[in-house]
A and B are shown apart, each in its own frame.
Chain A
Amino acid sequence: MSDPLALVPKDPERQTAKDFKTDQEVRWCPGCGDYAILAAVQGFLPELGLKRENVVFVSGIGCSSRFPYYMNTYGFHSIHGRAPAIATGLASSRPDLSVWVVTGDGDALSIGGNHLIHSLRRNVNLKILLFNNRIYGLTKGQYSPTSEVGKITKSTPLGSLDSPFNPISLAIGAEASFVARTIDSDRKHLQSVLREAATHNGTALVEIYQNCNIFNDDAFAPLKDPQTRDDVTVRLEHGEPIVFGADRDKALRRSASGPLEVVPADSPDILVHDARNPDPSLAFALSRLDSPTFEHTPIGIFRQVERPSYDELMRAQIDEAIAQHGAGDLTALLGSGDTWRID
């Protein structure tokens, strides 16, 4: 498998989280889940040991998109929804960079939905961190494309009418080669997912459940509350049986009619997670377990398959053209075609 970081220079010095902090004051609301994600990312990057100047964070617009200002790397805070497009141009022309996109549910799934699905199908070397708080924060509290139906917000006083996207289902449907979900409050899990995403060849989509304590507080409470979280969180580990519950007494199985069903852990034929399966149907079925009440919510890597990245294919076409015909010669190009000479 191609290593997407093979061409990214490594720092001979040992790095710490502090190396990735900037002198800018972090301006998210106190208590915002973004702080935890920022700390987790800053804490994780030293593990990769890449030269800081070869790491780039690109974002769109929204609370999450302020992220690059706080990372002591190169950064580009762009315009609403367009970060995947901008990052595509950067990543496909610079194989020596590790390019990360930070986006939110409005940025990625509403105004930028087109760019998200196309970067996923193209498999450009981008690591997309989608902070999903199921609300518009920066514009002060309108419902988002991941808000539950009936959401009462400033723009929907009688409840929202439209069905939400499930970002995991969407990504799998968009031919994504890497799809994962994690949660802001579980740093260990978040970093374990980042680790796999960073070294994945192609686009990695990491949905991060993130709490907006101002406009949509406790949106993921059942997954965070120590009383309930172990019971409802379904941790996906590649190659491991999918067993969950506080007492690890529940498991998943395919029902005769197709969908997954929750069965006692000692039942026969319980599912073993296979993120590497080329066929996406199991990953998709797992993504459909989500429910508004969070009674069984998978977190972890749904899908992680090998596929050539767009940028390496693009590079290969150039290398091949040069290998076959030699590097371009401008004099020859300008004088090509049907020419004539006047003496």
Chain B
Amino acid sequence: MTKQVRQLDRVIIRFAGDSGDGMQLTGDRFTQETAAFGNDLSTLPNFPAEIRAPAGTLPGVSSFQLHFADHDILTPGDAPNVLVAMNPAALKANVGDLPRGADLILNTDEFTKRALAKVGYAANPLEDGSLGEYRVHSLPLTSMTVKALEDFDISKKDAERAKNMFALGLLSWLYHRPTDATVRFLEVKFAKKPEIMKANIAAFQAGWNYGETTESFSVSYEVKPATLPPGLYRNISGNMALAFGLIAASVRSGLPLFLGSYPITPASDILHELSKHKRFGVRTFQAEDEIAAVGAALGASFGGALGVTTTSGPGVSLKSETVGLAMATELPLVVIDVQRAGPSTGMPTKTEQADLLQALYGRNGESPVPVVAPSTPSDCFAVAIEAARIAVKYRTPVMLLSDGYLANGSEPWQVPEVDSLPEIEPAFAEAGEEDFQPFKRDPETLARPWAVPGTPGLEHRIGGIEKADGSGNISYDPNNHDLMVRLRQAKIDGIARDIAPLTVDDPSGEARVLVLGWGGTYGAITAAVRRIRAAGGTVAQAHLRHLNPFPANLEEVLHSYDKVVVPEINLGQLALILRGRFLVDVIGYNRVRGLPFKAEELADVIRDVINS
């Protein structure tokens, strides 16, 4: 039977099931296949904090959304074209996001009376007509998988667990994905359980074959590779890019990398990744708590390492005093906050941007620290290097604000040439200096010398107590304190001379409305701006990588537009600062749902401002 092949320019698929159904793995594999095929892509994993929430319940639903296209895309997509729902809970939790006409692939084996009742379905949605506006593909995924695996010497439970691979095989057929890498992946993953390995590969192939033979799918789809600039590519998540960026900063500075960390969602993967790279001399230290994690990193910095600590918002709260110490002792330190929904424990697996004020101000005393934020998963690489560059050059802690969306989301990344990466010069103080003064500053950067233990003749003592300008001896002199507070501030402010000016994307040059964002909202804002322009609208866009200090031209940019819209996944933290600093009446758009913005909602907001 020859089936029809239809061309699409982009597709959004969401895999949804129980936390134990392997939806994240399925999504990851489909993503890898898609990346290898050469599409542009963006992903949104969405899962509960509970490792195995009660089966079949709404809180237990785990999903993975993937947007892929034959052109450059920016977000994981607003609404899925295809939903794979492994049980009634997955259907109920996700069906509301589907546009009319979307494809629904349902595992009918799980649509039992009990399972339906568990999530409050009075009638079976497969039978009551409530799914009429979708193209429903009712498939007994579990029993087909079990049947396909009946010749294998594995338990029924193990056979049932392979249903995600059956689904992956079916979707791989439906969208013409290459399958070799998934087979290789399964061979490695189950190398120690050969029977399970063979069964999973068989389930994957059975899913593919089912697609080819069933009448349930009469059409398959092709999405041509995207035309991206030439080069070597890989798919990368934000957390992976941060880990790679830190290693690159270590290599480019010649400073050994020391990571002090305490496990916390959604930052732990950075610790996991870095702990694999001991060949780079990376030391990873899983501390007894957040405070020890940053303390050890600072101690390593004192000894001449690139000290880094990784955490999320609650961890930053605990580290605050030590960041203050790093600021006061003027030692390099990189503090990575992978923001999650707060306050307090909040929603650990959900994204948010509400730690900006904590990063900027969450310490006692006048305690300015540079703050940087990546805008996309792959941008985490460059921003990690930038954080290290500033920390080392200016002898200061630097806060890097990633978020849960960037951390777990992924996109294709053009692998950079190592020689193109910034060089970082530690410029340690050297032996032989007469009358060494640990707080004598570089006249240009105001950075103090970094004199590490082991350097003869530069023995000195530092600490959190106020220091005399120059000598660094303890000083309670009123005017000295005033001077030191101002010097520390001036040092951080001066970094503005050392960062790129804010670039504004305003192709027509006639926009009266500027959309200004920061951090992980870049993709959604840019997609919204493109939609408005595609419909003939005019809008300018700029995105801040440096939140402290701001680029030197920010004030000028803000005053160049009649209206400035600032979308943030918080209640207006950047907006507060912009208003306070620049007296600009910015228009905030703020939602804190634990999810990234959708392009369409932002387009609506911006359109309203343009038209008002």
Enumerate chain A interface residues (CB-CB to B < 8 A).
9, 22, 24, 51-54, 56, 58, 68-69, 71-79, 82, 84-94, 96-97, 114-115, 118, 314, 317-318, 320-322, 325-328, 330-331, 333-343
Q: Is B280's CB within 8 Å of the partner chain A?
A: yes
Task: Check if B307 sits within 8 Å of A328, measured CB to CB.
Answer: no
Q: Which residues of B contact A86 (CB under 8 A)?
A: 295-296, 298-299, 302
Taken together as a complex, chains A and B put the C-alpha atoms of A86 and B457 apart, in Å, by 23
Taken together as a complex, chains A and B put the C-alpha atoms of A157 and B36 apart, in Å, by 73
Task: Please name 5 further chain A to chain B contacts, defined as beta carbons within 8 Å, in addition to the given A53-B455, A118-B287, sorted by A numbering.
Answer: A68-B461, A69-B463, A90-B300, A93-B303, A342-B230
B299 (CB) vs chain A CBs: closest residue:
A89
In the complex, which of the residues B35, B232, B295, B463 contacts A85, with contact meaning CB atoms closer than 8 Å? B295
Task: Check if B230 sits within 8 Å of A333, measured CB to CB.
Answer: no
Q: Is B181's CB within 8 Å of the partner chain A?
A: yes
Q: Is B346's CB within 8 Å of the partner chain A?
A: no
Task: Check if B232 sits within 8 Å of A115, measured CB to CB.
Answer: no
Task: Check if A76 sits within 8 Å of B463, measured CB to CB.
Answer: yes
B118 to chain A, nearest CB (A): 38
Q: Which of A54, A71, A76 has the most CB of B within 10 A?
A: A76
Interface string of B153-172 (1 = CB under 8 A from A): 00000000000000000000
Taken together as a complex, chains A and B put the C-alpha atoms of A326 and B278 apart, in Å, by 10
In the complex, which of the residues A53, A58, A89, A314 contacts B459, with contact meaning CB atoms closer than 8 Å? A53
Q: Is B464's CB within 8 Å of the partner chain A?
A: yes
Enumerate chain B interface residues (CB-CB to A < 8 A).
32, 35-36, 38, 181, 225, 228-235, 244, 247-248, 251, 256, 258, 260, 277-283, 285, 287-289, 291-293, 295-305, 307, 321-322, 324-325, 329, 415-418, 453-465, 473-474
Q: Which residues of A contact B415 (CB under 8 A)?
A: 334-335, 339
Taken together as a complex, chains A and B put the C-alpha atoms of A78 and B415 apart, in Å, by 41
In the complex, which of the residues B234, B291, B455 contacts A337, with contact meaning CB atoms closer than 8 Å? B234
Taken together as a complex, chains A and B put the C-alpha atoms of A292 and B210 apart, in Å, by 81
B103 to chain A, nearest CB (A): 27
Taken together as a complex, chains A and B put the C-alpha atoms of A336 and B474 apart, in Å, by 50
Task: Check if B279 sits within 8 Å of A322, measured CB to CB.
Answer: yes
Taken together as a complex, chains A and B put the C-alpha atoms of A334 and B246 apart, in Å, by 12
Q: Which residues of B contact A341 (CB under 8 A)?
A: 230-233
Q: Which residues of B contact A69 (CB under 8 A)?
A: 461, 463, 474
Task: Check if B460 sits within 8 Å of A75, measured CB to CB.
Answer: yes
Q: Which residues of B contact A333 (CB under 8 A)?
A: 244, 247, 277, 280
Q: Which residues of A contact B418 (CB under 8 A)?
A: 330-331, 334
Task: Check if B454 sits within 8 Å of A53, measured CB to CB.
Answer: yes
B289 (CB) vs chain A CBs: closest residue:
A114
Q: Which residues of A contact B280 (CB under 8 A)?
A: 327-328, 330, 333
Task: Check if A340 sits within 8 Å of B463, measured CB to CB.
Answer: no
Would A89 and B465 be within 8 Å (CB), given that A97-B453, A328-B277 are in contact?
no
Task: Check if A318 sits within 8 Å of B283, measured CB to CB.
Answer: yes
Taken together as a complex, chains A and B put the C-alpha atoms of A94 and B282 apart, in Å, by 13
Would A75 and B277 be within 8 Å (CB), given that A58-B299, A90-B299, A342-B231 are in contact?
no
Taken together as a complex, chains A and B put the C-alpha atoms of A219 and B461 apart, in Å, by 31
Q: Which residues of A contact B298 (CB under 8 A)?
A: 86, 89
Q: Which of B38, B287, B301, B324 has the most CB of A within 10 A?
A: B287
Task: Check if A335 sits within 8 Å of B232, measured CB to CB.
Answer: yes
Task: Check if A76 sits within 8 Å of B38, measured CB to CB.
Answer: no
In the assembled complex, 9 residue pairs joining A and B whose CB atoms fall closer than 8 Å, in A order, are A82-B291, A85-B287, A85-B299, A88-B285, A89-B299, A118-B287, A322-B278, A336-B234, A339-B234
Task: Check if B295 sits within 8 Å of A89, measured CB to CB.
Answer: yes
In the complex, which of the residues B258, B282, B302 contacts A76, with contact meaning CB atoms closer than 8 Å? B302
Q: Which residues of A contact B230 (CB under 8 A)?
A: 341-343
A20 (CB) vs chain B CBs: closest residue:
B459
A82 (CB) vs chain B CBs: closest residue:
B295
Task: Check if A342 sits within 8 Å of B38, measured CB to CB.
Answer: yes
Taken together as a complex, chains A and B put the C-alpha atoms of A85 and B230 apart, in Å, by 47
In the complex, which of the residues B228, B303, B307, B464 contacts A94, with contact meaning CB atoms closer than 8 Å? B303
Taken together as a complex, chains A and B put the C-alpha atoms of A20 and B136 apart, in Å, by 81
In the complex, which of the residues B38, B303, B457 contacts A90, with contact meaning CB atoms closer than 8 Å? B303
Taken together as a complex, chains A and B put the C-alpha atoms of A24 and B299 apart, in Å, by 24
Task: Check if B459 sits within 8 Å of A52, measured CB to CB.
Answer: yes
Task: Check if B292 sits within 8 Å of A338, measured CB to CB.
Answer: no
A27 (CB) vs chain B CBs: closest residue:
B474
Q: Which residues of A contact B181 (CB under 8 A)?
A: 338
Task: Check if B303 sits within 8 Å of A97, measured CB to CB.
Answer: yes
Task: Check if A53 sits within 8 Å of B456, measured CB to CB.
Answer: yes
A133 to chain B, nearest CB (A): 21
In the complex, which of the residues A78, A314, A338 contacts B464, with contact meaning CB atoms closer than 8 Å? A78
A179 to chain B, nearest CB (A): 19
Task: Check if B296 sits within 8 Å of A24, measured CB to CB.
Answer: no
In the complex, which of the residues A89, A322, A340 contacts B303, with contact meaning CB atoms closer than 8 Å? A89
Taken together as a complex, chains A and B put the C-alpha atoms of A71 and B258 apart, in Å, by 27
The 4 closest A-B pairs by CB, nearest first: A77-B463, A89-B299, A85-B295, A89-B296
Task: Check if B303 sits within 8 Å of A318, measured CB to CB.
Answer: no
Task: Check if B260 sits within 8 Å of A78, measured CB to CB.
Answer: no
Task: Check if B288 sits within 8 Å of A118, measured CB to CB.
Answer: yes
Task: Check if B292 sits within 8 Å of A56, measured CB to CB.
Answer: no
Q: Which of B228, B233, B458, B463 has the most CB of A within 10 A?
A: B463
Task: Check if B303 sits within 8 Å of A78, measured CB to CB.
Answer: no
Q: Which residues of A contact B321 (CB under 8 A)?
A: 79, 82
A41 to chain B, nearest CB (A): 15
B132 to chain A, nearest CB (A): 40
Taken together as a complex, chains A and B put the C-alpha atoms of A253 and B14 apart, in Å, by 73
Would A334 and B248 be within 8 Å (CB), given that A53-B454, A68-B461 are in contact?
yes
Taken together as a complex, chains A and B put the C-alpha atoms of A336 and B417 apart, in Å, by 13
A109 to chain B, nearest CB (A): 15
Task: Check if A342 sits within 8 Å of B279, measured CB to CB.
Answer: no
Would A115 and B36 be within 8 Å (CB), given that A69-B461, A77-B463 are in contact?
no
Task: Check if A24 sits within 8 Å of B473, measured CB to CB.
Answer: yes
Task: Check if B299 sits within 8 Å of A87, measured CB to CB.
Answer: yes
A145 to chain B, nearest CB (A): 18
B74 to chain A, nearest CB (A): 19
Task: Check if A97 sits within 8 Å of B296, measured CB to CB.
Answer: no
B226 (CB) vs chain A CBs: closest residue:
A342
Q: Which residues of A contact B473 (CB under 8 A)?
A: 24
A131 to chain B, nearest CB (A): 17
Would A330 and B251 be within 8 Å (CB), given that A78-B464, A342-B231 are in contact?
yes
Task: Check if A338 sits within 8 Å of B454, measured CB to CB.
Answer: no
Q: Which residues of A contact B465 (CB under 8 A)?
A: 77
B474 (CB) vs chain A CBs: closest residue:
A69
Q: Which residues of A contact B301 (CB under 8 A)?
A: 89
Would A334 and B416 be within 8 Å (CB), given that A89-B296, A93-B258, A341-B231 are in contact?
yes
Would A78 and B463 be within 8 Å (CB), given that A85-B292, A89-B300, A318-B278 are in contact?
yes
Q: Which residues of B contact A330 (CB under 8 A)?
A: 247-248, 251, 280, 418
B376 to chain A, nearest CB (A): 17
Q: Which residues of A contact B325 (CB under 8 A)?
A: 78-79
Task: Check if B256 sits within 8 Å of A93, measured CB to CB.
Answer: yes
Q: Which residues of B contact A73 (CB under 8 A)?
A: 459
Taken together as a complex, chains A and B put the C-alpha atoms of A199 and B192 apart, in Å, by 45
Taken together as a complex, chains A and B put the C-alpha atoms of A75 and B463 apart, in Å, by 8
Q: Which residues of B contact A335 (CB under 8 A)?
A: 232, 234, 415
Task: Check if B279 sits within 8 Å of A321, measured CB to CB.
Answer: yes
Would A53 and B229 be within 8 Å (CB), given that A87-B299, A314-B283 are in contact?
no
Q: Which residues of B contact A318 (CB under 8 A)?
A: 278-279, 281-283
Q: Which residues of A contact B282 (CB under 8 A)?
A: 318
In the complex, which of the residues B278, B289, B454, B463 contacts A96, with contact meaning CB atoms closer than 8 Å? B454
A338 to chain B, nearest CB (A): 5
Q: Which residues of A contact B456 (CB under 8 A)?
A: 51-53
Task: Check if B233 sits within 8 Å of A342, measured CB to CB.
Answer: yes
A13 to chain B, nearest CB (A): 11
B586 to chain A, nearest CB (A): 37
Q: Which residues of B contact A79 (CB under 8 A)?
A: 321-322, 324-325, 464
A91 to chain B, nearest CB (A): 8
A210 to chain B, nearest CB (A): 21
